[in-house]
């Protein structure tokens, strides 16, 4: 297998991954009409918006710069993580010090950069437009729709796998085979507990085409060579450049690994999944949890 000079260097040195890319430029059509004016990533999950969960997850794993890929109509995310002098002044005057500290933490938790995807040409293209800010170093990709019960633990384990095997790592989970047409599916070779070397992958296969029931779910640790592959990856059947296709091309020159996640996974990218995630996270909330549990017990059967 031909190996790049950069991959060879990775094998010889310890690498700290400093940057995470969060693609957040989609239309959010499944949540229309709400997302006509409100970015899907700003929908609240219990007491904070979806986007904040993934930014906090990145910070907990030592990320120093978060690159959010946005598009027209997504300004609310930029405003959310920016300073608000008027609001801070108002809270200070009212003596609401706890709220004031929360607001200030939003703008200081990490260095956030914004890159525009001017056309919605797929997840692979959204990652590609961040190339100038990422530069020639490994990085993380985090899809805000995908949330995990063990927030941060999944990504930390993936970073450990990257450090050990020195290749790109993708998160996967087992699904019912009847659902494979909704996901990217890998062909795995097991090399350790919950760790696989990826032989191949395909985006949204039929049940007959799927080589396993391991589906890709929203977290990637990627080497910078992915940008070269994405640049030459042709659009798929719906005219979009898929990250799965780009990683599949990367397999020709360097190994790619998969980590089978533990714990619950929440897909907040659909109305039903968003409601399920809201309930699950509310029940785990230290202040709201007991009251929510009692409320649910009192609901009459349907």
Q: What pLDDT score was predicted for residue 301?
A: 82
Average pLDDT rounded to a whole number, residues 229-239: 86
Residue 181 has pLDDT above 90, yes or no: no
Residue 104: count other Cβ atoms within 10 Å of its Cβ: 14
What the block records as the tokens of 153 is 């633990």
Mean pLDDT of the chain: 90
Q: What percent of the chain has pLDDT over 90?
A: 73
Query: What pLDDT, in 10s, does the model give residues 24-50?
Result: 998 889 999 999 999 999 999 999 999
Query: What pLDDT, in 10s, does the model give residues 94-121?
Result: 999 999 999 999 989 999 999 999 988 9
Give the 3-state DSSP-derived string for 40-94, with helices as H, strands as E and coil as C: HHHCEECCEEHHHHHHHHHHHCCCCEEEEEECCCCHHHHHHCCCCHHHHHHHHHH
Residue 110: count other Cβ atoms within 10 Å of its Cβ: 15
Q: What pLDDT score was predicted for residue 2?
A: 46
Average pLDDT rounded to a whole number, residues 218-231: 95
Give domain limits for the chain.
Answer: 15-297
Q: How far is CA 264 from the centre of its chain?
A: 15
CATH class held by domain 15-297: alpha beta
The residue to which tokens 């091309």 are assigned: 249
Residue 3 has pLDDT above 50, yes or no: no
Q: What pLDDT score was predicted for residue 11?
A: 55
Contact assessment for residue 210 and residue 177, using Cβ atoms and an 8 Å cutoff = yes
């Amino acid at each position: 297998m031909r190996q790049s000079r950069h991959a060879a260097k990775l094998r010889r040195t310890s690498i700290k991954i400093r940057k995470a890319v969060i693609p957040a430029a989609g239309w959010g059509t499944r949540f229309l009409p709400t997302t006509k004016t409100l970015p899907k990533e700003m929908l609240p999950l219990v007491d904070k918006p979806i986007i904040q969960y993934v930014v906090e997850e990145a910070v907990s794993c030592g990320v120093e710069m978060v690159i959010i890929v946005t598009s027209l109509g997504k300004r609310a995310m930029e405003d959310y993580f920016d300073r608000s002098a008027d609001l801070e002044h108002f809270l200070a005057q009212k003596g609401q010090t706890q709220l004031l500290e929360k607001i200030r933490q939003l703008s200081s938790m990490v260095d956030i950069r914004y890159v525009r995807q001017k056309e919605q040409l797929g997840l692979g293209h959204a990652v590609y437009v961040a190339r100038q800010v990422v530069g020639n170093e490994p990085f993380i990709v985090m899809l805000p729709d995908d949330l995990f019960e063990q927030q941060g633990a999944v990504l930390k384990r993936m970073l450990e796998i990257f450090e050990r095997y020195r290749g790109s790592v993708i998160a996967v989970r087992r699904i019912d085979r009847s659902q494979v047409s909704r996901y990217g599916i890998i062909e795995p070779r097991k090399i350790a507990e919950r760790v696989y070397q990826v032989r191949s992958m395909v985006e949204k296969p039929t049940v007959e085409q799927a080589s396993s029931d391991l589906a890709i779910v929203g977290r990637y640790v990627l080497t910078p060579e992915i940008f070269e592959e994405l640049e030459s990856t042709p659009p798929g059947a719906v005219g979009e450049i898929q990250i799965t296709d780009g990683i599949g091309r990367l397999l020709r020159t360097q190994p790619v690994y998969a980590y089978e996640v533990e714990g619950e996974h929440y897909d907040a990218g659909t109305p039903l999944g968003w409601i399920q995630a809201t309930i699950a996270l509310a029940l785990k909330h230290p202040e709201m949890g007991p009251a929510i549990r009692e409320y649910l017990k009192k609901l009459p059967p349907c």
